[in-house]
A and B are shown apart, each in its own frame.
Chain A
Amino acid sequence: MTTTESPHLTDEGAQEMAPRILAGGTEVLREVGSVLRISEAEAAEDAPVDAETTIINMGPQHPSTHGVLRLMLELDGETVLRTKPVIGYLHTGMEKTAETLTYLQGGTNVTRMDYASPIFNELAFCLSAEQLLGLELPPRATWIRMLMSELNRLTSHFLFLATNGMDLGSTSMMIYGWREREEGLRILEMITGLRMNHNFIRVGGTAADLPDGWQARLTEYLDSIPERLEEYEVLMTNQPIWRERLQGVGSITTEEAIALGATGPILRSTGYAWDLRRDMPYLAYDQVDFDVIVGSYGDCFDRYAIRLNEVRESVKILRQCIDMMPAGDYRIQDKKVTPPPRARIDESMEALIHHFKLFTEGFKVPEGDAYAAVESPRGELGVYLVSDGSAKPYRMHVRGPSFVNLQVLPHLMHGGLIADAVAIISSVDPIMGEVDR
Chain B
Amino acid sequence: MSETTTATDEPVAPEPTPEPELLHGAPVVRVRGQQVVHAGREELVALVRTLRDEGWIQCLDVTGVDYLAHPHADVPAGIQAERFEVVVILMSHHARERLRIRVQVPETDPVVPTLFEVHPGTEGMEREVFDMFGISFDGHPDLTRILMPEDWEGHPLRKDYGIGRIPVQFKDAPDA
> Which residues of A approach B to under 8 Å, CB–CB?
21-23, 25-26, 29-30, 35, 37, 39-40, 87-88, 91, 93, 95-96, 100, 131-132, 134, 258-263, 274, 279-280, 367-371, 373, 380, 382, 384, 386, 388, 394-395, 397, 399, 403-404, 406-407, 436-437
| A404–B147 touching, CB < 8 Å | no
Q: A100-B163, A371-B100 are in contact. Are A260 and B32 (CB under 8 A)?
A: no
Q: Which one, A30, A39, A131, A382, contacts B60 given CB within 8 A?
A: A382
| A261–B121 touching, CB < 8 Å | yes
Q: A96-B156, A258-B57, A407-B123 are in contact. Are A88 and B149 (CB under 8 A)?
A: yes
| A93–B34 touching, CB < 8 Å | no
Residue interface bits B85-122, CB-to-A below 8 A is 1, else 0 = 00101000100101010000000000000000111111
Cβ–Cβ < 8 Å partners of A35 in chain B: 123, 141-142
Q: Does B39 interact with chain A (Cβ within 8 Å)?
A: no
Q: Does B52 interact with chain A (Cβ within 8 Å)?
A: yes
A91–B96 Cα gap in the complex (Å)? 33
- Nearest-neighbor residue (CB-CB) of B145 within chain A: A88
A54–B16 Cα gap in the complex (Å)? 64
Query: What 12 additional pairs, Cβ within 8 angstroms, besides A88-B147, A262-B121, A386-B70?
Result: A30-B120, A37-B141, A37-B142, A91-B147, A93-B156, A95-B132, A132-B32, A258-B57, A369-B65, A395-B66, A399-B63, A404-B124
Q: Which one, B53, B57, B65, B148, contacts A88 given CB within 8 A?
A: B148
Residue interface bits B26-67, CB-to-A below 8 A is 1, else 0 = 000001101000000000000000001100011111010110
A399–B122 Cα gap in the complex (Å)? 12
| B65–A386 touching, CB < 8 Å | yes
A30–B122 Cα gap in the complex (Å)? 14
| A382–B89 touching, CB < 8 Å | yes
Residue interface bits B138-173, CB-to-A below 8 A is 1, else 0 = 000110111111100000110000010000000000
| B119–A26 touching, CB < 8 Å | yes
A381–B93 Cα gap in the complex (Å)? 16
| A259–B74 touching, CB < 8 Å | no
| A29–B34 touching, CB < 8 Å | no
| B87–A21 touching, CB < 8 Å | no
Q: A371-B89, A371-B98, A382-B89 are in contact. Are A26 and B32 (CB under 8 A)?
A: no
Cβ–Cβ < 8 Å partners of A404 in chain B: 60-61, 121, 124-125
Query: How many pairs, one residue from A and one from B, have CB atoms within 8 Å of each other in the complex?
Result: 119
Q: Which one, A39, A373, A395, contacts B144 given CB within 8 A?
A: A39
Cβ–Cβ < 8 Å partners of B89 in chain A: 371, 382, 384, 399
| B118–A26 touching, CB < 8 Å | yes
Cβ–Cβ < 8 Å partners of B98 in chain A: 371, 373
Q: 12 A–B contact pairs at CB < 8 A?
A: A30-B120, A39-B150, A95-B132, A96-B163, A134-B3, A279-B93, A370-B31, A384-B63, A386-B70, A388-B69, A403-B125, A407-B121
Q: A30-B120, A261-B122 are in contact. Are A367 and B74 (CB under 8 A)?
A: yes
| A259–B119 touching, CB < 8 Å | yes
Q: A87-B146, A88-B149 are in contact. Are A260 and B120 (CB under 8 A)?
A: yes
Cβ–Cβ < 8 Å partners of B63 in chain A: 384, 397, 399
A40–B145 Cα gap in the complex (Å)? 11
A406–B147 Cα gap in the complex (Å)? 14
Q: Which 10 A-B residue pairs are closest in the complex by CB-CB distance?
A: A261-B121, A37-B142, A260-B121, A388-B70, A88-B147, A91-B147, A399-B61, A397-B63, A395-B65, A407-B124
Q: A23-B52, A23-B57, A395-B65 are in contact. Are A279 and B96 (CB under 8 A)?
A: yes
Most buried by B among A259, A380, A384: A259
Cβ–Cβ < 8 Å partners of A395 in chain B: 65-66, 157
A231–B49 Cα gap in the complex (Å)? 48
A403–B144 Cα gap in the complex (Å)? 16
| A384–B59 touching, CB < 8 Å | no
For the complex formed, measure the closest distance between the CB of A318 and the CB atoms of chain B, giving whole angstroms: 25
Q: A40-B150, A134-B3, A384-B61 are in contact. Are A369 and B31 (CB under 8 A)?
A: yes
A368–B70 Cα gap in the complex (Å)? 11
Most buried by B among A100, A259, A261, A368: A261
